[in-house]
Amino acid sequence: MTSRSRIALGLGVFFLLGAYPVWNGLASSADPERPELARAVDSAGATGCIEDTTWMKANHQKLLNEWRTSVVRDGQRTWVSSTGTSWDMSLTGTCLKCHANTETFCTRCHDYADVQPTCWNCHVVPEGGQSEGGQSHE
Amino acid sequence: MNETRRGFLKALGLTTVGTGLGIPLLRALRPGSGTVLAQVSGPAETAPAAVPGRQWAMVVDVEKCLRDDVRAAVIEACDREHNIPRIPDPKQEVKWVWSDEYGDIFADQINAHTPAAAREAPVLVMCNHCTDPPCIRVCPTGATWKREKDGIVMMDMHRCIGCRYCMAACPFGSRSFNWRDPRPYVEHDENGKPLSDFPTRMKGVVEKCTFCAERIDEGGEPACVEALRQVPGAEGALVFGDVNDPESEVSRILSEHLVMERRPTLGTGPNVYYLVPDALPALAAAPSAGVDGNHPVSERGEVAP
């Protein structure tokens, strides 16, 4: 065996191993199981979400950041949706009134997407939600 | 390269002189900036006059707050409203409003002849929401700042990194650090939920009294002031209002009485005032302020260990 063929063999093995995620993904035809999210419970006064579901899926994190800045930094608590409805900018007071179960609504999808927001370290989950306390920081 | 040492040094010297002269020259030549001197003093002259907004303030009637039930109602209301943990170790305590000894709170305003009993009398203390707060100057992240619209010295727990500079800067000890996760020490209802929807804090952030900014933004008043409305005989023990409004109750009291503030010589301009003058006989007769004046144990629920 010449050194040329040895190098070629080594490179071949290297690329094959390096491409593991690609051929493994191609080989397993089954779609990864999408998380089943809890439907919102109806809350007094609320007629549907503040924005439509597609928009919320894509933008809720940005929206919550804006709400946070507005409430904490500017002391401004009222938000007007694209349909002209006014809402109180409050995670616990507005979002969780309908999406009461954070375990089956927030956490399930965040686990799937592998993101770890720290909301529940401080924010209180009202009645019916997940048991409190996010990750321990001890 | 046939650069000589001599040539290099020459160029270096010219560059230094050029930079030193050139930058001020460029600044002076910038349109509208006038002379170099005017550029330096310019912003101060052109700054618009400060618009007098609100400045929330509190008047503590020391004599009325000598009553244990009055102080307990205040502290209890605050603890419940803000999910304040009750941590037994005094070194790790979290306090927004609490009782301390008159002689310690007004250490620079007592003298050798002040009766010992008066020195030990309990006084309610909280964040002074200073007009010129030293805490906000030292915060490296802007997590604490003075609200322009109403003068509240506010906390943003999302930004606090727990460096505790603000605690070092505050001359009143008004700030508490979360040495541990406060959740287990927050009082819970029978369903295992904190008593209030107010976010609890997490390990590693600093907190303090915010004059109940969240209630004020909705047109309410601080929880402590509201709670005292339910206590018979406690009218006026705490008066909350806008000192910039000459018609407010706070302004009326300040114009009709001599009041004290904590450590006035430091120049921070505290906005918590103490109505004291007629209180000395009562102070001397009052029970001493102990740690028992803080975080009264509630009958509603157990505090987790």
Q: Strands B97-101 and B122-126: what pairing?
A: antiparallel
Q: Do B158 and A125 touch (CB under 8 A)?
A: no
Write down the ipTM of this complex: 0.73
Which positions in chain B touch A130 (Cβ < 8 Å)?
Answer: none
Q: Does B303 touch chain A (CB under 8 A)?
A: no
When scoring A65, A68, A73 by the number of chain B Cβ atoms within 10 A, the one with the most, hence best to mutate, is: A73
User: Which of B84, B99, B98, B126 shows the shortest CA–CA distance to B211?
Assistant: B126
Which segments of chain B does DSSP mark as H helices, in order? Answer: 5-29, 36-46, 68-81, 102-105, 116-119, 134-138, 165-169, 213-216, 223-228, 249-256, 280-285
Domain spans of chain B, in order of start = 5-43, 56-293
Residue-level pLDDT at A49: 86
Residues 22 to 41 of A: which have CB under 8 A from any B CB? none
Q: Any idea which residue has 């990750």 for tokens?
A: A135
Domain spans of chain A, in order of start = 1-28, 40-132
Mean pLDDT score, A114-137: 70
Q: Print pLDDT tens along chain B (305 aa).
A: 677 899 999 999 999 988 888 777 777 776 555 444 444 443 444 444 445 689 999 999 999 999 999 999 999 999 999 999 999 999 999 999 999 999 999 998 889 988 888 889 999 999 999 999 999 999 999 999 999 999 999 999 999 999 999 999 999 999 999 999 999 999 988 888 888 889 999 999 999 999 999 999 989 999 999 999 999 989 999 999 999 999 999 999 999 998 999 999 999 999 999 998 666 777 777 666 654 446 655 444 444 44
Residue-level pLDDT at A45: 61
Q: Does B202 touch chain A (CB under 8 A)?
A: yes
Residue-level pLDDT at A1: 63
Which positions in chain B touch A132 (Cβ < 8 Å)?
Answer: 183, 192-194
Q: Which two tokens stand for residue A10?
A: 């080594």
Q: Does B113 touch chain A (CB under 8 A)?
A: no
A–B: how many Cβ contacts below 8 A? Answer: 52
> Nearest 5 degrees, angle CA B155-CA B158-CA B162?
75
pLDDT in tens, B3-59: 789 999 999 999 998 888 877 777 777 655 544 444 444 344 444 444 568 999 999
Q: Report the CATH fold assignment for B56-293.
A: Alpha-Beta Plaits (3.30.70)
Residue-level pLDDT at B295: 63
Using CA coordinates, name the residue in chain B closest to A68. B158
- Is a pLDDT exceeding 50 seen at residue A128? yes
pTM exceeds 0.90? no
Nearest CB to A127: which of B147, B193, B213? B193
- Is a pLDDT exceeding 90 seen at residue A130? no
Q: Which residues pair with B239 in a beta bridge?
A: B59
Q: Does A125 touch chain B (CB under 8 A)?
A: yes
Q: Do A125 and B191 touch (CB under 8 A)?
A: no
Q: Distance between CA A119 and CA B78 in Å, rounded?
A: 23
Mean pLDDT score, A45-60: 85
